[in-house]
Amino acid sequence: MKIIRSHAELLVYRASLPATSTVGFVPTMGGLHAGHTSLLTLSRRDNDISLASIFVNPAQFAPGEDFASYPRTEDADLSLCASHGADAVYLPRAEDVYPAGYETYVEAGCGGAARNARSEGASRPTFFRGVATVVLKLAVAARPHRLYVGQKDAQQCAVVRAVVRDVGLPLEVVVGETVREGDGLAMSTRNQYLTGAERSVAGGVWAALREGTAVWAKGERDAESVRGVVREKLADMRGKDANVEVLYVSLCDRESMREVEGTVEGGGKCVVCVAVMVGKARLIDNVVLE
Ligand SMILES: Nc1ncnc2c1ncn2[C@@H]1O[C@H](COP(=O)(O)OP(=O)(O)OP(=O)(O)O)[C@@H](O)[C@H]1O
Ligand SMILES: CC(C)(CO)[C@@H](O)C(=O)[O-]
Ligand code: BAL
């Protein structure tokens, strides 16, 4: 497995690949777990060449967020990439992605997020700008045929699809299913921040989303009623040893990220997304309404 540490090296590596080879690309921030490796497995299966990146992207963290303390586990990450068939891993330094004087940022696809008072965009105002910028920059250099992202970050999936569509990047965005722990907690690098007591209530996030889909399956079609059921079930997570704060419960269009008011359409067009702080861990999860 080739390890690439600079933008220039990545361009040389990419140019060295046969023109007929298909390339899959899995961007990550490291701290790899089974959610990430599921994407690596898809990339390995579908492409001649499978490429991953590990970069804790400063542009998507707001001041006061966990940029400095974000888990950095390079050796373990590289082993997982190798054991899941990556041909190369790109680990840029910050100055390769954002050299001195860097001033080009991408707002594309953030309209719905910015207007949606209940989304990641409102909760983390500079987040999607940072994600869109880095994904575009990495994809231009890696020139993949397929780019893999996880459904766990539903609103990020919508932003990445919007960037690819609006810029006209010739690649397919493939969304991998959310990989979960036994109690339904979506795997996430930030789960490491949970204490034992917090971990024991964290499965409540998925339980609340399931409650939402249960009323949906029984025929509830009013957006606020579905959100209300999820909110109510999330309130059950408050235990005496766990500090739980619900940041938002959103029921939005899966593509535009606009909040749905009134009647909810089925057929996979809408998604219920939640963000919950449990201690120091900011947990997000979602479920698509089929
Ligand atoms: N449980 C999961 N199932 C499927 N894909 C996932 C899962 N967790 C993360 N991913 C995907 O892996 C890619 C890299 O994500 P990232 O490195 O931010 O990991 P993360 O676990 O989401 O971290 P964080 O805790 O910072 O949110 C993203 O496309 C993300 O959606
Ligand atoms: C897509 C991504 C790698 C961009 O930094 C990040 O937001 C993530 O890990 O989900
Ligand atoms: N998993 C998305 C990256 C982030 O939360 O910063």
pLDDT of residue 63: 94
Rounded Cα distance, 42 and 174, in Å: 9
> β-strand 244-253 against 270-278: which pairing, if any?
antiparallel
Q: Which residues, 6 or more positions from 37, have their beta carbon under 8 angstroms from its beta carbon?
A: 80, 84
- Is 229 a domain residue? yes
Ligand 2 lined by 43 (C-beta under 6 Å): no
Q: Which of 19, 90, 21, 7 is nearest to 51 (CA)?
A: 90
Nearest residue to 282 via CA among 248, 231, 241? 248
- Domain with residue 244: its CATH number is 3.30.1300.10
Residue 36: active-site member: yes
Contact 181, 63 (CB under 8 A): no
Same domain, 52 and 143: yes
CA 163 – ligand 2 centroid, Å: 14
> CATH no. for residue 35?
3.40.50.620
Where does ligand 1 bind, in terms of residues with CB under 6 Å?
Answer: 28-29, 35-36, 38-39, 149-150, 152-153, 176, 178-179, 186-190
Domain count, the chain: 2
Asked whether residue 181 is domain-assigned, the answer is no
Judge whether 284 lies within some domain.
yes
Closest approach atom of ligand 3 to CA 152: 1
Q: Could you tell me which residues are beta bridge partners of residue 268?
A: none
Q: Please report whether residue 88 resides in a domain.
A: yes
Using 50 as the pLDDT threshold, list the residues of the chain that sit under it: none
pLDDT of res. 207:
98
Last residue of a domain, one of 152, 176, 200: 176
Q: Which ligand 3 atom minimizes the distance to the CA of 189? A: 1
ipTM of this complex prediction, to 2 decimal places: 0.98
Residue 182 belongs to a domain: no
Residues 99 and 214 in one domain: no
Ligand found nearest the CA of 130:
2
Domain-ending residue, one of 176, 200, 220: 176
pTM more than 0.95: yes
- The parent domain of residue 246 ranges over 189-289
> Do 131 and 248 have their domain in common?
no
Within a domain: 183: no
* 172 and 195, same domain (yes or no): no
211: in domain: yes
What are the tokens at 213?
Answer: 């889909």
Instruction: Answer yes or no: do 107 and 206 share one domain.
Output: no
What confidence tens digit (pLDDT) does each residue in 51-68 have? 999 999 999 999 999 999
Last residue of a domain, one of 176, 211, 230: 176
Task: Say if residue 166 is in the same domain as residue 273.
Answer: no
Q: How far apart are CA 28 and CA 177, in angstroms?
A: 16
| Domain match, 8 and 40 both | yes
**Residue 134 and residue 217 in one domain:** no
Q: Which atom of ligand 2 is nearest to the CA of 53?
A: 3
Nearest Cα residue to atom 7 of ligand 2: 131
69 φ/ψ angles, rounded to the nearest 5 degrees:
-95, 0
How does strand 244-253 pair with strand 88-90? unpaired
| Strands of the sheet with 23-28, listed across from one edge | 2-4, 88-90, 49-54, 23-28, 146-150, 172-176
130 and 41 assigned to the same domain: yes
Let me know if residue 184 belongs to a domain: no
Domain co-membership, 147 together with 15? yes
Phi and psi at residue 11, in whole multiples of 5°?
-65, -40
- pLDDT at 37 (0 to 100): 99
Same domain, 38 and 99: yes
